[in-house]
């Protein structure tokens, strides 16, 4: 027993690796990112009441990080604090929808033009992959995967603009528009929205391959306006109700 102890004492003391502790701030940021992603991907719908305990249980965390994340999203106007202190996903009226659509057209076409000038084969491959994933999910009627692939497609493109400020502005609009995205799945003619998106995504990819910034921007404008026209044609698209 004596000799092994001597050998151990001869070894230099090894300093432990610097590992990041999961701090309260990190948990708050994680909760914020998860809820933000869910809003942008259509996981929630307009009018939904967000129950802190239920969200905390779903994310496997405590109440405090979720409460802080919701307060942050309320401050950003992505969520609404009701007089009862309940947090709600805001309803969107027609006027707000039209305003947000007009702003989206300006910002998202600008991001697309900028990204098109920086396009790489890897980016095009990623966009093709996401569009294929969306097509497969449409065939399977998997709403969650369709919306996830659609969002990833768009933000892969916008982030290639390398403008954090521009992407941030676009994200703030998607936080409001995102909860409407699942509406087509609850209506008989809703497949038109995603069939159109599939086709315009393909037009966009072809424009990027040709490095044609004008065609790329026109494709993203068509993607936004085609979807907007469908929503405007639904009697209850802005109230969370479903056509009979």
pLDDT in tens, 45-66: 999 999 999 998 988 889 999 9
pLDDT given at position 186: 78
Instruction: Determine contact, residues 42/179, Cβ cutoff 8 Å.
Output: yes
DSSP tag of 90: P
Per-residue pLDDT of 210-227, as tens digits, reads: 999 999 999 999 999 999
Domains in the chain, ordered, with CATH?
Answer: 24-88 (1.10.10.10), 94-232 (1.20.120.530)
Question: Where do the DSSP E strands lie in the chain?
Answer: 49-50, 80-81, 87-88
Strand partners, 50: 87
Strand pairing category for 87-88 and 49-50: antiparallel
Angle of helix 63-75 relative to helix 24-40, nearest 10 degrees?
60
Please tell me the distance from the alpha carbon of residue 25 to that of residue 84, in angstroms, as a whole number.
Answer: 27
| pLDDT confidence bin for 20, thresholds 50/70/90 | low
pLDDT at 16 over 60: no
* Phi, psi angle pair for 32, to nearest 5°: -60, -45
Rounded to two decimals, the pTM is: 0.83
Q: Kindly tell me the burial class for residue 168, based on how many C-beta atoms sit within 10 Å of its own C-beta (0-12, 13-18, 19 or more).
A: exposed
pLDDT given at position 140: 92
């Amino acid at each position: 027993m004596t000799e092994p102890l001597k050998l151990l004492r001869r070894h230099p003391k090894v300093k432990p690796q610097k590992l990041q502790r999961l701090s309260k701030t990190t948990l708050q940021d994680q909760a914020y990112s998860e809820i933000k992603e869910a809003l942008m991907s259509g996981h929630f719908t307009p009018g939904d009441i967000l129950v802190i305990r239920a969200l905390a249980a779903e994310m496997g965390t405590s109440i405090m990080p979720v409460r802080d994340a919701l307060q942050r999203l309320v401050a950003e106007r992505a969520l609404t604090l009701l007089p009862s202190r309940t947090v709600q996903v805001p309803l969107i009226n027609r006027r707000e929808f039209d305003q947000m659509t007009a702003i989206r057209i300006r910002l998202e076409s600008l991001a697309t033009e900028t990204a098109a000038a920086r396009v790489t084969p890897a980016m095009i491959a990623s966009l093709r992959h996401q569009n294929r994933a969306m097509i497969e999910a449409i065939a399977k009627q998997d709403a969650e995967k369709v919306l996830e692939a659609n969002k990833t497609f768009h933000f892969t493109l916008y982030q290639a603009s390398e403008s954090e400020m521009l992407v941030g502005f676009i994200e703030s609009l998607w936080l409001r528009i995102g909860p409407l995205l699942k509406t087509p799945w609850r209506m008989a003619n809703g497949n038109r929205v995603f069939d159109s998106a599939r086709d315009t995504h393909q037009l966009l990819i072809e424009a990027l391959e040709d490095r044609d910034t004008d065609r790329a921007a026109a494709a993203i404008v068509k993607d936004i306006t085609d979807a907007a026209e469908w929503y405007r044609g639904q009697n209850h698209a802005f109230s969370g109700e479903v056509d009979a």
